[in-house]
């Protein structure tokens, strides 16, 4: 049941996108996210759609698997769309009671919904094709210059990679605890909100205890191996750019430039 959560999950496959340097993917995702907020017309939208569709196709992650991640944001999506729909002033289309729907409202609701969906799809494409370890390695290296400003880059990266690593573990644990309590007659589904909140106690207590225990064990294991932070630490698999990474940078930059051009001239 809980395995539906795909946010931050990795989907193993052997595609070019999987093999790209994580720094390229981080940079590409950043540009892509910015690009989503640059287009205003159909041409820009079409370019973004083609780009996203191409990337998904190349990545060989099943589309159905990606869409699962969208289910979680349906509510956010609806609220945003509704706010845009009802609260945008402009030319009236429909009016009832205190609600006014305007042409501009419809346009901005659709635009906002599309942007959010594209945003989630694009960013989950990055996490689906990059293992958490690669991702944090990439971030550590890409943001390495911040060290000179006394930002503890390595420590932050390490914390992130541990947190990401723990998500699937805790999801699995939650699943097991739920089963164990359902077997004892616990009911997580029926009842009003207070009853449901109370029903969470038998789930949350074991979950927290297990999370603390795991954190404790991990800290101990790291200390036992003389972990002392990033200073002087070398990598088993240092990141090195390949030819394909340069090509990928090229593709992303061309895409971004194209959208800027469209925005300025069309």
- Which is nearer to other proteins, 208 or 241 (by Cβ)? 208
- Pick the binder of other proteins from 8, 90, 144, 202 (CB under 8 A): 202
Q: Is 3 in the site for other proteins (CB under 8 A)?
A: yes
Say if CB 138 and CB 23 are below 8 A apart.
Answer: yes
Taking residue 115's Cβ as centre, other Cβ atoms within 10 Å add up to 17
Q: Is 186 in the site for other proteins (CB under 8 A)?
A: yes
Q: Is 232 in the site for other proteins (CB under 8 A)?
A: no
Q: Is 176 in the site for other proteins (CB under 8 A)?
A: yes
The nearest distance, CB 184 to other proteins, in angstroms, is 4
- Pick the binder of other proteins from 112, 210, 244, 251 (CB under 8 A): 210
Q: Is 147 in the site for other proteins (CB under 8 A)?
A: no
- Pick the binder of other proteins from 87, 209, 246, 261 (CB under 8 A): 209
Q: Is 124 in the site for other proteins (CB under 8 A)?
A: no
Q: Is 189 in the site for other proteins (CB under 8 A)?
A: no
- Of residues 4-23, those binding other proteins (CB under 8 A): 11-13
Q: Is 38 in the site for other proteins (CB under 8 A)?
A: no
Residues at the interface with other proteins (CB under 8 A):
3, 11-13, 62, 64-65, 173, 176-177, 179-187, 201-202, 205-206, 209-210, 213
């Amino acid at each position: 049941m809980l395995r539906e959560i795909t946010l931050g999950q990795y989907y193993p496959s052997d595609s070019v996108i999987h093999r790209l340097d994580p720094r390229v993917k981080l940079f590409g995702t950043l540009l892509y996210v910015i690009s989503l907020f640059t287009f205003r017309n159909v041409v820009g939208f079409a370019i973004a759609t083609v780009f996203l569709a191409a990337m998904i196709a190349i990545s060989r992650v099943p589309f159905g698997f990606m869409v699962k991640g969208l289910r979680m944001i349906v509510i956010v999506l609806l609220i945003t769309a509704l706010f845009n729909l009802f609260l945008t002033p402009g030319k009236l289309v429909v009016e009832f009671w205190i609600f006014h729907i305007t042409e501009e409202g419809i346009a901005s609701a659709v635009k906002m919904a599309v942007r959010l969906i594209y945003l989630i799809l694009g960013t989950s494409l990055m996490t689906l094709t990059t293992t958490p370890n690669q991702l944090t390695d990439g971030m550590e290296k890409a943001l390495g210059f911040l060290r000179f400003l006394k930002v503890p880059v390595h420590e932050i990266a390490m914390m992130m990679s541990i947190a990401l690593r723990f998500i699937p573990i805790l999801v699995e644990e939650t699943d097991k605890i739920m089963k164990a309590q359902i077997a004892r007659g616990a009911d997580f589904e029926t009842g009003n909100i207070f009853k449901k909140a109370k029903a969470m106690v038998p789930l949350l207590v074991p979950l927290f205890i297990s999370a603390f225990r795991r954190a404790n064990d991990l800290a101990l294991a790291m200390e036992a191996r003389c972990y002392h932070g990033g200073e002087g630490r070398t990598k088993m698999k240092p990141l090195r750019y390949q030819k394909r990474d340069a090509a990928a940078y090229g593709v992303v930059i061309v895409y971004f430039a194209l959208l800027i051009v469209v925005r300025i001239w069309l």
